[in-house]
Amino acid sequence: MVPNNILAGFILLAVGSGGFGLIETSSERLGNYVYHLLAIVFIAMTLRKAESKSSSSTVAMGLIMSLGTGIQLIIGLILAYVFMQTLMPDLFPTFGYFLMLGFAQGPGQSYSLGKSWEASGFANAGDIGLTFAAIGYVWAALIGVIIIYHLKKKYYQNSNIKEISTQQQKGVIKELKEQPCAGNLTTDTAAIDGFSFQIATVIFVYALTYLLLKSIETGLLSINDKSKMIHQLVNTAWGLHFIFAALLAILVKKIIYKFGWGNLLNNGLLTRISGISLDFMVTASIAAISIPVLMNYIGIILTITTVGGLFTIFFVFHEIRRSGMNHPFERIAGLYGTLTGTLSSGLTLIRILDKDFKTKAAHDQVFGAGIAAPFIAPLILSFTVPLLGMNSSNPDIYYWSTVGGISLYISILYIFWRRYIRRFKK
């Protein structure tokens, strides 16, 4: 069961300019789609009103997601350094970040930050980021399904797992009574269509994001427009545009609710906006892969993704089974899918096992991702250290300081995780 957006991406890659050339496609244009759609996904999801409070299992899933993401980063950095010292001495110091970005964070973040590194001398970094994300989808969608059925056969023969329904296989809901509601209109259509209002709100926040980043760029360049460090900070800010977009969405949402206009925002319609954006972003990210760039880095990419993918399987299976949480099979599926693809990949794998989301696995996966966000943010922002080390006389100090700092951070988080899950074993 492979999601349509992933299939569409590989089909477009095959028939596009990088494949058989049946239709003309531009990696640059598709990459730009990924960049902008990422921000729209973050804005639409952030504008939604929280529907549920966190439980102990939700917090636990947030912690384990953060741990998996951090360990992927450490693996990527160590393997990249090995290549730097042997086969690829000119490898850019942030190359190792692509395992975490492409697998645990998805194509948007991987492309966005990669694109910002190109201005610092990392050629084709955006394309490389998309390649890591595409391989991550293969691990999530193809290998993930194989893993689920292997575990079902070997460890969960007596579980109440349903077979994949015909509806799930075809991806079409035929019966009208089974078709879910997309959302509610919050405005009179005589004035403005309710869906148009949700879209306009998202676009308004994105416009504010652009103005904010442009102001940051102008302010920094006014300090010293000839400084490499200043230009790196500017590029980094634009690469992290999705974070600024989410922060501004939080601010706009607070203002809306402060004035008593919260009823104008509808979770269902905002979810449709993020869902549409995510589908097209995934398709564009795969179709934008540059085959020549992939072949130039094929050795290191396959090495890092294979080691990272195998470790993710071991880590997820080992930690969830030892955690004592209920519904471990569904949680293994969801966590694995999220750490190799996106949150939607995790939910897709959960749905194979829990068709109607009757267990708490899907709920905890969704809201746990929100809890994981502040823990993952330092991991993403840590790339600034090896980047700054490029301008020093001893960049290795910056590189290994980053690895050491991340290792310490993850060790502390792991100790907290082990203590926290004791409550599930009582």
Q: Is the pLDDT of residue 350 over 70?
A: yes
Q: Is the pLDDT of residue 376 over 80?
A: yes
Q: Is the pLDDT of residue 317 over 80?
A: yes
Mean pLDDT over 360-377 rounds to: 85
* Strand stretches in 297-391, DSSP E: none
What tens digit of pLDDT does each residue of 142-198 get?
A: 888 888 777 667 665 545 555 555 665 666 777 777 777 788 888 988 889 999 999
Q: Would you give the end-to-end CA distance of the chain in angstroms?
A: 37
Q: Which amino acid is at 138?
A: V
Contacts of 368 (CB under 8 A, 6+ apart): 58, 59, 60, 61, 62, 64, 65
Confidence band, pLDDT 50/70/90 cuts, at residue 89: very high
Question: What is the pLDDT at residue 363?
Answer: 79
Tell me the DSSP string of 30-79.
Answer: HHHHHHHHHHHHHHHHHHSPP-S---HHHHHHHHHHHHHHHHHHHHHHHH
Cβ neighbour number for residue 196 with a 10 Å cutoff: 13
CA angle 46/47/51 to nearest 5° reads: 85
Cβ neighbour number for residue 17 with a 10 Å cutoff: 16
Cβ neighbour number for residue 223 with a 10 Å cutoff: 9
Q: Which amino acid is at 383?
A: F
Mean pLDDT over 99-116 rounds to: 91
**What is the residue extent of each domain of the chain?**
4-160+196-425
Q: Is the pLDDT of residue 83 over 70?
A: yes
Confidence band, pLDDT 50/70/90 cuts, at residue 202: very high
Q: Is the pLDDT of residue 76 over 70?
A: yes
**Average pLDDT in the chain:** 87
Q: Is the pLDDT of residue 405 over 70?
A: yes
Six token digits for residue 134: 């595409």
Considering only the C-alpha atoms of the chain, give the largest distance between any 2 of them, rounded to a whole number of Å: 68
CA distance 398 to 93: 10
Instruction: List phi, psi (to 5°) of 368.
Output: -65, -30
Element (H, E) at 54: none
CA distance 139 to 340: 6
Which residue in this structure is represented by tokens 């569409």? 8
Confidence band, pLDDT 50/70/90 cuts, at residue 358: confident
**Are 124 and 101 spatial neighbours (Cβ–Cβ below 8 Å)?**
no
CA angle 72/230/96 to nearest 5° reads: 15
Cβ neighbour number for residue 200 with a 10 Å cutoff: 12
CA distance 184 to 264: 10
Cα 312 versus chain centre, distance? 15
- List, as own/partner pairs, every contact residues 203-207 make where C-beta atoms lie below 8 angstroms and the sequence separation is at least 24, other chains included: 204/252, 205/43, 205/47, 205/245, 205/248, 205/249, 205/252, 206/36, 206/39, 206/40, 206/43, 206/245
Mean pLDDT over 229-234 rounds to: 82
**Are 206 and 247 spatial neighbours (Cβ–Cβ below 8 Å)?**
no
Question: What is the pLDDT at residue 167?
Answer: 60
Q: Which amino acid is at 420?
A: Y
DSSP conformational letter for 312: H
Q: Is the pLDDT of residue 291 over 90?
A: no
Mean pLDDT over 11-23 rounds to: 90
**Are 296 and 25 spatial neighbours (Cβ–Cβ below 8 Å)?**
no
Q: Is the pLDDT of residue 57 over 70?
A: yes
CA distance 27 to 209: 25
CA distances from 155 to 148, 329, 334, 358 (A): 10, 9, 17, 21
Question: What is the pLDDT at residue 166?
Answer: 60
CA distance 82 to 67: 23
What tens digit of pLDDT does each residue of 327-341 get?
A: 888 899 999 999 998
Closest residue by Cα to residue 193 from 285, 286, 266:
266
Confidence band, pLDDT 50/70/90 cuts, at residue 357: low
